[in-house]
Structure formats: structure tokens, C-alpha cells
Structure 1
Amino acid sequence: MKIALKIGYEGMNFSGSQIQPDKRTVEGELLTALKNAGVIDNFESANLSSAGRTDAGVHSYGQVVSFFATRPELALPRVINNKLPRDLWAWASAEVPDNFDPRRHAVRRKYRYILTGDYDISKMREAAKLILGEHDFSNFSKKDKKCQKTTIRRIEKLDIRTGNGIIRIDIEANAFLWNMVRKIVTALTYVGSDYRSVEWIEQMLDPENYEEGIEPAPAYGLTLTEVGYNPEPEWSIDGYAIKSISDYYAKEAEQHKIMSTVMGYVVAFGKQKTE
């Protein structure tokens, strides 16, 4: 039987989601956990696949994976989570047809990018309007000739919100190119800092006449939040699994909040002593 899972992970200590020899990856840890839990017999017969790859440092709480289970009755998030490390978890499951492909059958993907800084939000929103719709995003992607047949994508949503010193960028499309979201974020910050004009975005969206490479924004700010299907699998949400991981990260967030304050005092101390 084929099973799909919704999974989340904190990407900082992973070398990306896609399995790689001798590296810690999301797929590698998940396959090991599935085998240790008795859900699958071996990696090969499981034929695990993901909705999309995420780079090292990128997070998720909406990634979708599918695999063939030897014992589908054990393919429950709370069972699998007992075999997973704390920075990787499952929170929903569904039985899916044998031909279900989490990547090819996905009709939308949503990402969120979080950043801080002093930017002109109105200019960033003006630039975002130009990015909406269908364009050739060659200038916003890392070239990957093996995987991408076309660099044309359609952006359905690009919202920029700000509050409490945080800028949140939500973006939705049918699919994304390699590094595309992070390079769009870089472009938006260029405009928001007056390093580039809004009109420059129009040039970047016309790769036949203008070509420029830009660096992607840091991976740690990016989260894959949702992958959608039509029809949507009949997900069974594991409330216990969600509460368990939520409680764990609530404690982690509190610790980071305290450490952020402590580090702020160190910064203030350093400035005081050097003035």
C-alpha cells in the first residue's frame, strides 16, 4: 500500500531534503525511521519520493512524501516520530493510489520567507506586483539543466507583511525553480534598500534581453509551508503529534528568546566599551 505523509523539519542541521551519500538529509533520516519502525522492509522497495527538494538550511512544515509501506497500519505519525530525531517530524498521513507522485501531481506550493532590516516596504510591494503572473524566471534561478525543461513559472500570490521588526514574505506558485524564492527575496530587498529600482525588476523578468545573476537570500529564512493537490488526499491529522512538536518548539522558542536578549546585552556592552 502506498502512504503519503505531511512532514516538517528544522533545516539547519540537514544537507537538504534529497537523500545524498554520506550526508544527513531529510529523506535519509525518514527512511531510516520507517525501517526501524517496521513500516518498510528496505529503502529500495519503499521507493520514497518528495513533493520537492529543499536546500540545506531550508525548513518545512508542509513537505509531502510518499512511499510503499510493508505494514501500513504502523504508518502513523506518532509511531514514526518515535524513531525520528527532534528536528524532523510527521503530522498527517493518507492512503494514496499507487501512481500518486507527490511532485508531479502537486498543483501549488507555498513558501514563507522571514527577514529583518530597514526596507521601504511600499517599494517592495510595488516590485512584488510586477513579479505576479507568468514569467520566465531564468534570472531568478540556479541553472539546473537536468531537472528543469522550462524556466517559465506562474506566481499566484506574493504578499509582504511587516510587524514587530519582522518582514514576512508569502509566495505561492504552481512550481518553483531551484533557488527561485530566495533570489526573488534578494531582488525585493535590493529594491527595498534603493540599491535597485522597481524598473530593474521588469528587466530581470525579460531574460532574452537582460541577464544578471544575483545571490539567493540565506536559506535559514525560508520555510516550505504547503503543497496542494487536486484532488487532495484524505489526510488524517495526528493531533498528538502536532501537540508534541508544538510543545517542544515552544520551549525552544522561549530559550532562543532569552538567548537573543542575552546576546543583545553583549552587543550593547561591546558598543559601550568601544565608544
Structure 2
Amino acid sequence: MKVALKIGYEGTHFSGSQIQPDKRTVEGELLKVLQETGVISDVETADLSSSGRTDAGVHSISQVVTFFTDNPRMAIPRILNSKLPRDIWAWAYAEVPDDFDPRRHAVRRKYRYILNADEYDISKMRDAAKLFIGEHNFSNFAKKDKNNPRSTIRKVEKLDIRSQGSVIKIDIVANAYLWNMIRKIVSALTLVGNGNRDTEWIARMLDPEIYEEGIEPAPSYGLIFLDIEYDPEPEWMIDSYAVKHTNDFYAREANRFRVISTILEQFVMQPEKEPDLD
């Protein structure tokens, strides 16, 4: 039987989601627990697969992972969460057809990037964001992958920017993404927002056949994978206990980090006022 899980993770201490030798990854930790609980006995026949890869430091709420199992009764979020480290959790599961591919069968993916609001003109960023909507060649907004050359045409359905308190939230919805595409788009938007570039530069960047320029991606810690959609959608069974337990834990963590953030601000030393020499 093939089972799909919806998992979340706080990506700070992971070297990405995809299994890598001698590195802590989301798939690596999940695979260990699936073996420990007897959900899978053979890694190769289990054929663990995910809806996409995220880079080191990137977070997720709704990554989808599939695998074959002869013991589906143990593939329950609350059982797996009792063994998983605190920065990974499962919250929904579904039985899916054997040919279901969590990556290729996805029709829509939603991400959010969060950054400090202090430095940017949000109206300029919104004007620039409009240029990304639709189908474009995002070659200038992707890390080149020489080992896996592929089309750089992608379709962005939505790119919303809003201010909320002390942060700016950038939501992007597309059919698929290139490596570092979202973080490079965010970098471009911030360059417009701080006045270093304008919307005409964005238009040139979206025409790589006549204009080419490299751009550094925004930091990975601000990016979170929010949701993924399929057609048809698997019949997800949400584990309400797992959801509540995870919500309670991260609500406490959020409160703790608000305090820590305030404490860290106290460590920023203010320069002493220079004496008046007149």
C-alpha cells in the first residue's frame, strides 16, 4: 500500500529536506523513524518520495511525502510524532494510488517569505510584484543546475505583498519553481523596495534573452512552504491530536522567542556619546 503524509518542519537545523550523506535532513530523520516503528522494513522497496526539495534553513507546513508500506496502521501522525524530533511533525495522512507522484502530480504550490518591514517602500514592491504574474522565463531568478538542465519557464499565478506589524509577508503561488527562484524574486523586490532598483529593471530581468544578471537569493530562514494542491486531491485524514499537540508546542515556542528577541535587542550596544570638544 502507498501512503502519503503531510509533514511540517522548522528548518533551522536541517541541511535541507532531501537525504544527503552525513548531513541532518528532513527525509533522513523521517526515514529513521519509519524504520524504527516498523512502517517500512526495506528502504528501496519503500521508495520514499516528496513533493519537492527545500534548501537548508527553509521551513514547511505542508510538505507531502509518500512511501510504500505493509504496516499502514503504524503510519499514523501521532505515532510517528512520538519518535520524531521536535522540529519535524506529521499531521495528516492518506492512502494514495501506487502511481501517485507527490511532485509531478502537484498543480499548485504556495510559499511565504517574511522580512522586516522597516527598510522598504511596500507600494514600490507591490508595483514590481505585478510584473512577475503570468508565464515568464525565470532564468535570471534561478540557480543554475548544470547536472539537471531544464526549462526555466514557469507560471506565477499570484504574488501578494502585505505589511503586518513589524514584518512584510510575501505570498507567491505558482505551478512549480526553479532552484532558489522564490528567494531571488524576494531579493529583487527588496532592491526595488529600498530604492536601489526600479520596475524597469525587473522587466529587463524577466527577458533573459536580451539581459542577463546574477542576483543573490534572500536568506533561507525567511521562507516557508505553506501548501500544495493536487487534482484530484488525496482524501486526507487529519490527526486532530497531532495538530493540537504541535500547535500548543509552537505557540509556547513563539512566546518564548518574542521574549528572547527583546532580550537580544538589549545586547545591541549603543555607542557612547562623543564629548563636545567646543
TM-score under structure 1 length normalisation:
0.97
- Displacement after TM superposition at 1:146 (Å): 3.4
The equivalent residue for 2:177 is 176
Alignment partners' CA distance in 2, 1:42 and 1:84: 19
How far apart, in 2, do the equivalents of 1:230 and 1:67 lie? Answer: 19
| 5+ long unaligned stretches in structure 2 | none
Deviations 1:124-155 (A, max 9, x none): 00000001000000000001143452000000
What pairs with 1:116-155 in structure 2 (closer than 5 Å)? 116=116, 117-155=118-156
Shift of 1:165: 1.2
Offset at 1:250? Answer: 1.1
**In the alignment, does 2:50 pair up with 1:63?**
no
CA contact (8 A) 1:148 1:177 kept: no
CA distance in 2 between partners of 1:126 and 1:146 (Å): 35
> One-letter code of the match for 2:4?
A
Identity of aligned residues (%): 65
1:91 aligns with 2:96: no
Q: Which amino acid aligns with 1:104?
A: R
Between the aligned partners of 1:14 and 1:274, the Cα distance in structure 2 is 43
Using structure 2 for the length normalisation, give the TM-score: 0.96
1:265 aligns with 2:263: no
State the Cα RMSD in Å: 1.0
Gaps of 5+ in 1: none
What is the CA distance between 1:272 and its match in structure 2? 5.5
Q: Which residue of 2 aligns with 1:232?
A: 233
Q: CA deviation at 1:15?
A: 0.4
Write the deviation string for residues 178-205 of structure 1: whole angstroms up to 9, x where unpaired.
Answer: 0000000000000001100111000000
Per-residue CA deviations over 1:90-111 (Å, capped at 9, x if unaligned) read: 0000000000100000001100
Instruction: Give 1:241 shift.
Output: 0.5
Question: Could you say which residue in structure 1 is the equivalent of 2:166?
Answer: 165
Structure 2 equivalent of residue 46 of structure 1: 46
The range that moved more, 230-239 or 142-151, is: 142-151
Paired residue for 2:110?
110
One-letter code aligned to 2:50: S
Paired positions, count: 273
List, as ranges, runs of 4+ consecutive aligned residues in structure 1 with deviation greater than 3 Å: 145-148, 272-275
Alpha-carbon shift at residue 73 of structure 1 (Å): 1.1
What residue number does 2:196 align with? 195
Amino acid at match of 1:13: H
Report the AA paired with residue 151 of structure 1: T
Query: Partner residue of 1:254?
Result: 255
